[in-house]
């Protein structure tokens, strides 16, 4: 079978692989139908993702069909459509035993630490499959992106009476926005990209603020009756933004780093202490996030159609990928349809 390998920065190559053998006990053989492209894939393509080593088959946002299952697998059957939870955890370390499988000490993420879904067939542990036969494959491929926002918002735990500020409205920022909206909290968004601001206005009725890279903190406080935000989600992955976001916090605020950077982030310690702020990181998601999201899509609380702005076939990915990186492309989520 033909797989697509990222052999070095900005260089894809199609390679021949043998088809996987029959699944062992507790495994499933799956056929990949849809693969979402995310910021991790882009960073890997540019050679800026420290967790991706070349060569690597990308692809962790997957909409798949079950081909066959091993012994003892009962919750999915051949023909089932599924979303894939791509976080391969050991199940035995302290975080796993505490239910924090998203930060397993030896975590392997499909398409990042090990080869992913840009190939027709792969085998996965069957318990990583979340069936939803009433949803389309591209909807199922969106679940992992949404799960990042779901888990981040659970970490920040905004309440309906609180004010929330989201910095950055790329796909991860949008996933955060989806779940903040479900809390009923008062929402503000800062996004410097005009196309993304237009997307927010058209699809969510949100007027995102902007002024150069960020709105000045004094301007934000003025727009929020003199108070800072109770919860701040920084989804930029930009060290400058991640340093400045403390300035937007109300006394006692909670700050959640959703985006990640390999560069050092400075912290304004006097401000941090004076306002008694809480800083949290968020990583990946947990199984219950996937279950919840499938239900929200099914019930119409999350609409996936605006998300997918660009599509291409598997064979066209090497020719198309560079174009998706250009700001003028207007990409929110690109979806690869396996042929």
Q: Under a CB-based contact definition with an 8 Å cutoff, are residues 118 and 3 in contact?
A: yes
Compute the distance between CA of residue 293 and CA of residue 286 in angstroms, rounded to an integer: 11
**In a domain? residue 287:** no
Cβ atoms within 10 Å, residue 263: 9
For residue 288, give the 3-state DSSP assignment.
Answer: helix
DSSP-assigned beta bridge partners for residue 256? 233, 280
**In a domain? residue 126:** yes
Q: Under a CB-based contact definition with an 8 Å cutoff, are residues 274 and 139 in contact?
A: no
Residues 190 and 122 in one domain: no
Domain assignment of residue 169, given as a range:
149-281
Q: Which of 35, 8, 38, 52 lies closest to 325 in space, CA to CA? A: 38
Q: 261: buried, middle or exposed (CB in 10 Å: 19+, 13-18, 0-12)?
A: middle
Residues 157 and 273 in one domain: yes
Token duo for residue 235? 């989804």
Residues 203 and 117 in one domain: no
Residues 18 and 128 in one domain: yes
**Cα Rg for the chain, rounded, in angstroms?**
20
Residues 91 and 11 in one domain: yes
For residue 222, give the 3-state DSSP assignment.
Answer: helix
Residues 269 and 173 in one domain: yes
Task: Specify the pLDDT at position 127.
Answer: 97
Cβ atoms within 10 Å, residue 270: 7
Q: Under a CB-based contact definition with an 8 Å cutoff, are residues 42 and 323 in contact?
A: no
Residues 175 and 257 in one domain: yes
Question: Between vectors from CA 226 to CA 224 and to CA 231, what angle results, nearest 5°?
Answer: 55
Residues 268 and 218 in one domain: yes
Residues 176 and 249 in one domain: yes
DSSP string, 70-84: -TT--S--TT-EEEE
CATH number of the domain that residue 240 is part of: 3.40.50.720
**In a domain? residue 90:** yes
Residues 177 and 250 in one domain: yes
Task: Specify the pLDDT at position 185.
Answer: 96
CATH number of the domain that residue 319 is part of: 3.90.180.10
Residues 277 and 154 in one domain: yes
Task: Specify the pLDDT at position 50.
Answer: 82
Residues 8 and 120 in one domain: yes
CA atoms within 13 A on the CB side of 287: 13
Successive 10-residue mean pLDDT values, the chain, 339 residues: 97 97 96 96 90 95 98 96 98 96 97 97 98 98 98 98 95 96 95 89 87 66 85 95 94 96 92 97 97 97 94 96 89 93
Tokens 């310690």, located at residue: 269
Q: Model pTM? A: 0.94
**In a domain? residue 288:** no
Total number of domains constituting the chain: 2
Task: Specify the pLDDT at position 212.
Answer: 46
């Amino acid at each position: 079978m033909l797989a697509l390998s990222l052999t070095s920065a900005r260089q894809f190559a199609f390679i021949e692989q043998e088809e996987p053998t029959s699944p062992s006990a507790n495994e499933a053989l799956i056929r990949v139908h849809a693969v979402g492209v995310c910021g991790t894939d882009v960073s890997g393509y540019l050679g800026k993702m420290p967790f991706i080593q070349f060569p690597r088959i990308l692809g962790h946002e997957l909409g798949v069909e079950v081909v066959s299952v091993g012994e003892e697998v009962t919750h999915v059957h051949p023909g089932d459509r599924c979303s894939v939870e791509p976080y391969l955890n050991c199940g035995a370390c302290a975080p796993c035993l505490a239910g924090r499988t998203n930060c397993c000490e030896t975590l392997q993420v499909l398409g990042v630490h090990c080869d992913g879904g840009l190939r027709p067939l792969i085998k996965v542990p069957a318990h990583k499959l979340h069936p939803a036969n009433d949803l389309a494959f591209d909807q199922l491929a969106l679940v992992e992106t949404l799960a990042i926002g779901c888990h981040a918002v659970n970490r920040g735990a905004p309440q309906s009476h609180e004010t929330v500020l989201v910095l950055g409205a790329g796909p991860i920022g949008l996933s955060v926005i989806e779940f903040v909206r479900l809390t009923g909290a008062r929402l503000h968004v800062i996004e410097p990209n005009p196309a993304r601001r237009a997307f927010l206005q058209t699809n969510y009725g949100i007027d995102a603020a902007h002024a150069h890279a960020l709105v000045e903190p004094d301007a934000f406080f003025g727009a929020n009756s003199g108070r800072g935000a109770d919860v701040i989600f920084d989804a930029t992955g930009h060290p400058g933004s991640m340093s400045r976001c403390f300035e937007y916090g109300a006394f006692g605020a909670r700050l959640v780093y959703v985006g990640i950077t390999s560069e050092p982030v400075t912290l304004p310690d006097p401000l941090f202490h004076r306002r008694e702020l809480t800083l949290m990181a968020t990583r990946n998601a947990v199984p219950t996030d996937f279950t919840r999201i499938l239900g929200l899509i099914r019930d119409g609380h999350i609409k996936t159609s605006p998300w997918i702005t660009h599509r291409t076939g598997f064979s066209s990915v090497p020719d198309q990928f560079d174009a998706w990186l250009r700001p003028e492309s207007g990409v929110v989520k690109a979806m690869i349809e396996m042929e």
